[in-house]
Amino acid sequence: MCLLVSLASRADDGFPRTVVDALGREVTLTHPPKRIVAIFASNVEMLAAIGAGDAIVGVEAFTRYPADIAERAKVGGRLGFSVEAIARLQADLVVMTPARQAATLVEPLQRIGIPALVLNHRDLEAVLANIRLLGQATGHELGAEQLIERLQARLDAVQVRLAGQPAVPVYLETGSNDRGQYLTLRGHNYTSDILRLAGGTNPFVDSRLSQVGGESVFQANPRRIIVAGSPQQAANLAVRPGWQSIPAVAAGRVDSIPSALLLIPGPRVVEGVEQLAALLHPELFPPLAETPP
C-alpha cells in the first residue's frame, strides 16, 4: 500500500498547476488529466505524440489519426460540438482550437467545471509551443520536450542540406471546387513555414484571396506545382482546361504530398517539410517512404 501511495504521489507531482492558453486565459488543472476530449486532428496528434493518447476519451468526427484514437467517442463535427456529450464522458480536460465555433465551448464548460485549453497554430513556432503547453497541462513534460528536440533536429538537418540553395517558386494547391477556383496559400502561417523551410517560395504570399484560377497560376509561372492530396489529384491538373499551357504542368513538374502532412498543424508537419524538400531539391535528399493521404 505504501508503494502505491508513493507512486501515485510522484505521478501527481506539480499539480495543481496553472497554464496560460492561446486566448490568454489561466487554466488550472488540479490533477494530471485522465479523461481528455481533444477537438481537431492536430490536438489529437500532439497529445498522442507526447504520450497522453491513452487519456483521450473523446474526439471530433473527422479524426483519422492515430487510428485507434479515431475510434473513440465523438463529441461533434462539422455542425458544432456538444457540451452534453463532453460532460457524459466525464472529461477533466478539453483541448480545442478556435475554429468551427469550438471556442464557444469555453464558457459553458467553465460553468460545469471542466477545464478547457485553447491552442492556436499561426506558424510552426506556435506548433512547437503547443506541444510544450500540452506537456505542461497533462504532466507529460518530458515526452513533450523530447518530441520537440527530435522535431527540431529534423528541421535543422533539412536546413543544413539546403544551405546556399536558391528557393524554388511553388504553387501549392490546398483544395479545389467544380467552379474552376482553386485554394492556395496566402499570408504567413504554418503551411507557409513548411514551404519556406523546404526551400520553396510562394508567389501568392501577398494575395488578398486564397482562391485562384488557372490564369493566375499561368501568370505566376511557378517552377513546381505541389498538390496537398493524392497522386491522382495531382494527375488531374493536366486535364483541366488550359492548364497544359502552364510550363510546370506541360513539363510534368507536378507532385503531391499527403494533405495531413501540410494542413494539420501537429508533429507530422516536420515530415511534410522533409517530403517537400525532397521534391523541390531531389539532388540533395534520398528518396523518402510515402505516407498515405
What residue segments make up the domains of the chain, in order of their start? 2-147, 165-284
Q: What is the 3-state secondary structure (H, E, C) of the chain?
A: CHHHHHHHHHHCCCCCEEEECCCCCEEEECCCCCCEEECCHHHHHHHHHHCCHHHEEEECCCCCCCHHHHCCEECEECCEECHHHHHHCCCCEEEECCCCCHHHHHHHHHHCCCCEEECCCCCHHHHHHHHHHHHHHHCCHHHHHHHHHHHHHHHHHHHHHHCCCCCEEEEEEEEECCCCCEEECCCCCHHHHHHHHCCEECCCCCCCCCEECHHHHHHHCCCEEEEECCHHHHHHHHHCCCHHHCHHHHCCCEEEECHHHHHCCCCCHHHHHHHHHHHHCHHHCCCCCCCCC
Q: Domain 165-284's class? A: alpha beta
**Beta-carbon contacts of residue 8 (< 8 Å; ≥ 6 apart):** none
What pLDDT sits at residue 13? 73
Residue 247 identity (one-letter amino acid): P
CA distances from 153 to 159, 164, 191 (A): 10, 19, 19
Check residue 202 and give its pLDDT: 96
Q: Cβ–Cβ contacts within 10 Å for residue 226, how many?
A: 26
Q: 78-104 in b/e burial notation, b at 16+ Cβ within 10 A?
A: eeebebeebbebebbbbbbbbebebee
| Structural contact between residues 173 and 259, judged by C-beta atoms closer than 8 angstroms | no
Residue 290 neighbours by CB distance under 10 Å:
11
pLDDT at 283: 94
Please indicate whether the domains covering 2-147 and 165-284 agree at the CATH topology level.
yes
> According to the model, what pLDDT value does residue 172 have?
97
Contact partners, residue 204, CB within 8 Å, separation at least 6: 171, 184, 185, 186, 212, 216, 220
Q: What is the pLDDT along the chain (293 residues), one digit of tens a residue?
A: 333 333 343 446 789 999 999 999 999 999 999 999 999 999 999 999 999 999 999 999 999 999 999 999 999 988 889 999 999 999 999 999 987 677 789 999 999 999 999 999 999 999 999 999 999 999 999 999 999 999 999 999 999 999 999 999 999 999 988 777 899 998 889 999 999 999 999 999 988 888 998 999 999 999 999 999 999 999 999 999 999 999 999 999 999 999 999 999 999 999 999 999 999 999 999 775 555 55
Amino acid at 260: A
pTM for the model stands at: 0.91
**Which pLDDT does position 288 carry in this prediction?**
52
Cα–Cα dist 186/69, whole Å? 32
| pLDDT, position 290 | 55
> Which pLDDT score is estimated for 6?
36
Integer Cα distance of 1 and 154 in angstroms: 44
Distances (CA, A) of 261 to 41, 66, 187, 293: 12, 14, 19, 9
pLDDT of the residue at 102: 77
The Cα 39–Cα 18 span in angstroms is: 21
Check residue 69 and give its pLDDT.
98
Q: What is the pLDDT of residue 199?
A: 98
Q: Fold for domain 2-147?
A: Rossmann fold (3.40.50)
pLDDT at position 12, please?
64
